[in-house]
Amino acid sequence: MKKHSARVAPLTACNSPVLTLTKVEGDERPAEASRAGVGGGSSRTEAEARGEAEGGGGGAARRLGRRACCRPYRCSARQLKRALWGWAVVLSVCSSWAGTSQLAKITFRTFDAPFAITWFATTWNILFFLLYYAGHAWSSEEKQSLPQRFRECCRFFGDDGLTVKIFFSRMAPFCVLWTLTNYLYLLALKKISATDASVLFCCNKAFVFLLSWIVLRDKFMGVRIVAAIFAIAGIVMITYADGFHSHSVIGITLVVASASMSALYKVLFKMLLGSAKYGEAALFLSVLGLFNVTFITCVPLALYFTGVEHWTPFSLIPWEKLCGMAILLLSFNILMNFGIAVTSPTLISVGVVLSVPVNAVADAYSTDIVFNSVRVIAVLIICLGFLLLLLPEEWDRLALELISRFKVSKKEEAIEERGEPGFAGQSRNKGSRTSTATFAHSF
């Protein structure tokens, strides 16, 4: 299979840096910029030192003054634009995920058919490749026709492209996992609040780490084991907060199962397909939607005719709510899979965590949820575990370097403050000796 440099992975819930699935070209630029900044800082330090030698005792004071006034971070227009786009993506991820959960609960009031809703929302995945091609035609310098781009992206599935065998053998398990993830999550929303469902779904990152550590032999990290323990403790505490009632226990079990299906989907994608370019990921998700329409359509029909799911008359189906929820879910998946074009996967994942307080505010006004101390602590523990999983593999080395630099800078400032009077006196004495020697030599 052909290897690529800039690749993403289509994930159901959130793009997981635990598996290091994303690698975007240009990531090395900030490091180079920081090295350039360090070099620039060294040059300024040498210039300041020469100024001190020439200017005497006032040099140290001027150095401290210049350091205080030159500390603000200077960013270019390009960096500012990227930062603004990044926060826009984070807020969009947060609002789309929270909006999907809240709108799903509203839809259940008049249309209680979670599997039909899942099928309807998954069908919209067919638009992925068309939307990607529209963006490619608008922004790419080397434009290709739609058939050419399709054939090129089909190489992701193998040298023979998207064959019938690949269509059934590769797409079937992913479509089943995708459907189960969304269906179980919607079922859970019928039992528990959107706040509990969204925070419990964040545990999927802990499950991703455990599966990748066991199946993919990923690097062991103690901090991620701690994060997984936090996730499990949070699940138990949320269950305890509701008093272990059967209604809430079933909902919690469903959302944990949904998070497990999402984690299995991610690990299986990494194991079987590796990673994909933007166009390849868009094609994969579109084929996923096509498989859903072709082979999953019979399931909601069977549930309807057997009476498991009851549909309202066709004229009373809340199409505006269904289409709104499908658009929000499609937007969420687009941002999760292609948002790394403008920001980092870690920042995108933060948007998923921010959806928890948004759902909490919405539930506080629309439902009778009780935010007791146990529930609040459980939410904070799970969110903390989620954030710990976002730490890079070399986080300990980076933390030690940051602490050592902070200590060195503090020590240098303390030495400068204590040595300023003596330094000034030495400068004056040195200047006096130099003038006397010159005067004696002139005679």
Residue 115: per-residue pLDDT:
95
| 441: CB partners within 8 A, 6+ apart | none
Over 80: is that where the pLDDT of 367 sits? no
Average pLDDT over residues 220-225: 74
Residue 101: per-residue pLDDT:
93
Residue 15: per-residue pLDDT:
37
pTM value surpassing 0.75: no
Average pLDDT over residues 19-36: 37
Give the start-to-end residue ranges of the domains of the chain: 111-316+367-391
CB atoms within 10 A of CB 247: 11
Contact (Cβ atoms closer than 8 angstroms) between residue 9 and residue 15: yes
Residue 324: per-residue pLDDT:
94
Over 50: is that where the pLDDT of 2 sits? no
Tens digits of per-residue pLDDT, 151-204? 888 888 877 778 888 888 888 899 999 999 999 999 999 988 898 898 889 888
Q: Residue 398: pLDDT band by 50, 70, 90 thresholds?
A: low
Contact (Cβ atoms closer than 8 angstroms) between residue 135 and residue 374: no
Q: Residue 394: pLDDT band by 50, 70, 90 thresholds?
A: low
- More confident call, 443 vs 242: 242
Residue 283 to residue 223: CA distance in whole angstroms? 36
Residue 298 to residue 304: CA distance in whole angstroms? 10
Over 50: is that where the pLDDT of 7 sits? no
Residue 399: per-residue pLDDT:
64
